[in-house]
Amino acid sequence: MPYGYNGKILRVDLTAGTCDVEEPSEAFYRKYLGGQAMGLYYLLKESPAGVDPLAAEALLAVTLSVITGAPISGQSRVMVNAKSPLTGAIGDSQAGGFWPAEAKAAGFDAVIIKGKAERPVYLWLHNGEAELRDAAHLWGQVTGDVEAAIRKELGDNKIQVMQIGPAGEKLALCACIINMANRANGRTGMGAVMGSKNLKAIAVRGTRKPAVADRKALSALAQWGAKNFAESDIYDMGLHGTAGGLAYQQAVGGLPTRNWASGVFEGFESLDGITMSNTILKGRDTCFACVVRCKRIVEITEGPYQVNPLYGGPEYETLATFGSYCGISDLAAVAKANQICNMYGLDTITTGATIAWAMDCFEQGILTVEDTGGIELRFGSAEAMVEVTELIAKGEGVGDLLADGMAQAARDLGPEAEALVTAVKSNPLPAHMPEVKRSLALIYAVNPYGADHQAHEHDPSYGGYPDRMAELGLVDPQPIAVLNEEKVRYSMVTQQFYSLLNTIGVCQFVWGPAWQLYGPGQLVDMVRAVTGWDVSLAELVTAGERALNMMRAFNAREGLTSADDKLPPKLFQPLDGGPSAGIAITEEEMASALSTYYAMCGWDNEGRPTKDKLDELGIGWVADQLGAA
C-alpha cells in the first residue's frame, strides 16, 4: 500500500458518460509527484497537438499530489492544467481551501477529463466511488447557491464543491474555477475549459485519508511550524492577509497604478491590509490543517456596496487590479467587485486589469460612451468599475467585449488599443512591477503560462535570506535593480523550485526558499515523512525542472516560439512619480537576459527544450513527440 497517495487516477469521458480508474506504478508517482508535472504528462500524451482549447477533444487535468491531505500547514492545493483558451499556450492555475484534502480523502489523486456532456452534469466523488449527476438545475446559478444546493441534494454539509460560475458557462476567457465560493483556480481561463465540457462542478467527500510513512516525523514538523509561526516573516500575512504587502509596494514605487503608468497611488492607504483589518474584516479563514489563516473574510451591511462574507474578501492582487490599476481607493467597491468575481467565477487579476486597460482606452478616446453603453469608464470611478465587473460576469454590453481579456479586446479595437495592453502571452500582468524588481521582467516573459508573480522568488529575497538561498546553491546576492548573469541564474533556479512547489502541491506562502514558514530542507523532510521515499533536495528540484520543461515543450508543440517571450510595450516606457519615476525596462537587457536564460536552461535559441535536456530529465518521450533535435 502506498504512503501519502491513493494510487488511483480517475479518467472521465463526458461524451461517453463513463468513469474509469487507472492505477499507475510507484515509479510514475515518484517521477511526476502530482500537480503540473502529472497534468502535463496526460496533456502531452493525449491532448491532440493544435487542438481548440474549448473542443471536446481537449483534456482538462485536475491534480493533487503525493502529499496532499497530510496533516501539516500548506499542503491542501489543487492544480488545474489544460490548453489555455486565453493564451493558446499551456494553462495553469492553483487553489487552496479544503477541497484538495477532501478530494484526496475521497480516494483519488487526480481527475483527467475529456469529452463534452450532452447536458450539464456534475461529478460526485465519494470514498472511491465516482458518478456523473445531472446539473441542468444548477446551470446559471452563482457559486454560493450551487454549493448549498449540492450539499442539500446529497445530504451532507461537509461536501466540498469545486465549480464554475455563469461566466464559465458562457465560456468567458476570464473565467476561473471556484471552491468554497471564494478560493480560485484563477489564471489562464480554466473555467471556460470546464464550461466547454458542460461540467458544472466536482463535488467531493471522503474519509479515506492515505497513510503517512512516518507520522512522528511529520508531527514534529507540524509542531515546529506552529511554534515558530509567530516569529516568522509570514506572521503578519496571517494578521492582515496578502493585502498587508500593499504599503510596501507603494513605498518602493512598485504598486501598478492607472494601467501601469505609475508605481505609486495616492489612495493606497484606503486599500491597505491594516485598513481592511480595522474596518470591514469579519474574520480570518484558513485551508485544511494550516496555521497561517491568511484568508480574508469581509462583510459590509450598509452603503452602496454590500458584501456577503460567504465570498471571502480581496487579496493583494485584487486590491491592486480593481484599486490602484483603476485609480480607485474605495475599499468597499473593490470588495464588491471581488464578490462578483467569486459569485460568477471570474479571475480577479484578469478582470480588474482588463477594466484598467479599458479605462485607459476610454481616457484616450479609443473606447467611447457609445461602446460602453453610456458608462463613463474613467480612472477613479468606483461606480463604473463595479458596473463593468458585473457586465463582464454576465457577458452583457461592454462586458461581452471585455470578458475575453484585454489582449483579445485590443485585437478587436486595433493598434492604438494594443499599445496599452499590459499582458504577456495574453495573460495580464499581476501587481508586481519588474521595473523595481528586475528578475520579474525575465520571468514574466519566459513563463510558459504568461505573466505570473508566483513563478519564482522575487529579487529582495536573494540578499535577505542567505542561509535558505545557499541550500539552492545561490550564494552571490545581486542588487534588486540589475538583470545580470547571476540574476538570471537566480531567476532560473528559483523558477525551477517554484515549479516544484506547484508539482508537489504546496502553498508558496508556507513552503519556499526564503521568507516562507518552512525552507527547502524542511520540504525534503516533509516529503520523506509522508511518502517514505528517501528523496533528496536535488531530486525534488529536478522534478520542478521536469515540469517546467514539459510546459515549454507543450508550448513549442502548439507553435509558440521565442517571439512569444516578450514584454508589453508599456514596460519599456518610463514610470511617472514616486521612487520609480523615470524607470523602465530596456530592450538591450531583455535580449541579453533571454539569451543567457535559454542557454542556462539547456534550450535552443527558440526557447525549446533540446533532446539532450529532455533525456537528462528522464522524459525523452517528449522529445520524440516534438521531433526535438
One-letter amino acid for residue 51 of the chain = V
**How far lies 389's CA from each of 157, 201, 263, 349, 467, in Å?**
31, 23, 24, 12, 44
pLDDT digits (tens, 9 = 90+) for 25-82: 999 999 999 999 999 999 999 999 999 999 999 999 999 999 999 999 999 999 999 9
Contact in structure between 325 and 256 (CB atoms under 8 Å): yes
**What is the reported pLDDT for 626?**
81
| Percent residues over pLDDT 90 in the chain | 98
Average pLDDT in the chain: 97
Contact in structure between 52 and 81 (CB atoms under 8 Å): no
pLDDT digits (tens, 9 = 90+) for 11-29: 999 999 999 999 999 999 9
Can you give the three-state secondary structure of 45-76, one letter per residue? HHCCCCCCCCCCCCCEEEECECCCCCCCCCCC
H-assigned helices in 345-464? 348-363, 369-372, 382-394, 398-402, 406-413, 415-418, 439-446, 460-464
For residue 168, give the H/E element and its range: helix 166-169
Q: Which of 258, 264, 250, 246 is nearest to 380 (CA)?
A: 258
**How far lies 330's CA from each of 120, 259, 303, 542, in Å?**
38, 17, 12, 45
**What is the reported pLDDT for 499?**
98
SS3 219: helix
**What is the reported pLDDT for 262?**
98
189 pLDDT band, cuts 50/70/90, is: very high
**What is the reported pLDDT for 628?**
55
Please, which residues have CB within 8 angstroms of residue 356's CB and are 6 or more apart in sequence? 258, 259, 321, 325, 326, 379, 422
pLDDT digits (tens, 9 = 90+) for 535-559: 999 999 999 999 999 999 999 999 9
- Report, as an integer, the average pLDDT of 422-439: 98
Contact in structure between 622 and 614 (CB atoms under 8 Å): yes
pTM across the whole model? 0.98
pLDDT digits (tens, 9 = 90+) for 519-535: 999 999 999 999 999 99
Tell me: pLDDT of 629 over 80.
no
- Report, as an integer, the average pLDDT of 476-495: 97
With b for 16 or more beta-carbon neighbours within 10 A and e for fewer, the 443-470 pattern comes to bbbbbbbbbbbbbbbbbbbbeebeebbe
